[in-house]
Amino acid sequence: MTPVLAALSGALLVAGVLVASLGLQRVEAETVRVRRTRSRRSVDGWWGRWRWPLAAAAGLLGWAVTQWPVAALIVVAAVIGLPYLLGSAKVAARAIDRVEAIEEWTRRLADVLATGVGLEQGILASATTCPPPLTQDVGALVARISARWPTDQALRAFADDLNDAAGDFVVASLLLASRRRGPGLSGVLTAVAGSVADEVAVRRKVEAERARPRSTARLVTLITLVVAGLLMLNGTYLQPYGDGLGQLVLAVIAAAFAGCLLWIRALTLTPPEPRFLTRHDVGTGGAS
């Protein structure tokens, strides 16, 4: 087996791991996916802009040190993939912060409506005190209402922007209020916000219990990388990986390790609760 074939096999294995990670993610609507991509880019900051050049430089360095094409591919995949594979805690924290922002915005809207203003006026006023995680979503809702969208359609589009079961719970109350005008909406929203706050508390407790396995996974990965780096300096120990078959075995080991990290990530992320306000309802105008 030639080194070129071994390198190609390693590249296919690494690509398979990346494709599998993408396949585990739930398919989202195009508009929501674009908005989340922009949000991730703003959160990643400089790392989102420089990770590929840094990964390429690290891969070239690994190739120069080992003269192994598979090692270069593994280094590139590690620089790109490890922040994703080990970053489930940040993903979960952002999801919880977003639900907490929904609860906070609901309470503020309830306070505004308690003064006696109408639903649409209250939503417009709530944009000025909106929590940062919901700035874009509430801003889009205000823009739709200002553009004279029907209130129920604007609220359903808002639910799609939130893309969360807790958001559906809040929007459902607002939809009922938009159809049956009357007093009492402020109290209903306050009760809904209390239920969302209970959900936030439960999620934070679950994430606290998951902190230990996440820390263990990061520690094991760090030790593995340090040991692998030290062993690269020992040519005798790694000599069996120098030929074509050894490169293939090295690629399989790296892919298996990445698969384990991907499995751990999937186990430590809470699957999203099913929504009950769907896009089909927006088109038909029916209630879920």
Angle of helix 46-66 relative to helix 69-85, nearest 10 degrees, comes to 150
Measure the CA–CA gap between 63 and 75, rounded to whole angstroms.
9
pLDDT of residue 153: 92
Residue 1: the pLDDT is 43
The pLDDT tens digits for 64-123 are: 777 788 888 888 888 888 887 777 778 888 889 999 999 999 999 999 888 888 889 999
* Residue 279: predicted pLDDT: 59
The residue that leads in pLDDT, 30 or 141, is 141
Placement of tokens 């593995």 in the chain: 224
Which residues make Cβ contacts (< 8 Å) with residue 239, sequence separation at least 6? none
Find where tokens 């038909």 sit: 284
| pLDDT confidence of residue 44 | 54
Which position has the higher pLDDT, 70 or 7?
Answer: 70
Residues in the chain: 288
Pick the more confident residue, 49 or 227.
227
Q: What DSSP string runs through 31-93?
A: HHHHHHHHHHHHHHTHHHHHHHHHHHHHHHHHHHHH--HHHHHHHHHHHHHHHHHT-HHHHHH
Q: How many secondary structure helices (H) and strands (E) does the chain include?
A: 12, 0
Mean pLDDT across the chain: 77
The pLDDT tens digits for 173-227 are 999 888 877 678 888 899 999 999 998 999 888 888 888 888 888 888 888 888 8
pLDDT at position 105 is 94
Q: CA-to-CA distance for 248 and 237, rounded, in angstroms?
A: 17
pLDDT at 43 over 60: no
Write the CB contacts of 222 (distance below 8 Å, at least 6 apart in sequence): none
Using a pLDDT cut of 90, give the percent of the chain over it: 22
Question: Each residue of 151-177: pLDDT tens digit?
Answer: 989 999 999 999 888 899 899 999 988
How do residues 258-286 score in pLDDT, each as one tens digit?
888 888 888 877 777 788 887 544 443 44
Q: Given pLDDT bands bounded at 50, 70 and 90, which one contains residue 47?
A: low
| Coil, strand or helix at 140 | helix
pLDDT over threshold 80, residue 28: no
Contact 152, 163 (CB under 8 A): no
Q: Tell me the domain boundaries of the chain.
A: 117-207
pTM value surpassing 0.75: no
Q: Which residue bears the tokens 């874009």?
A: 136
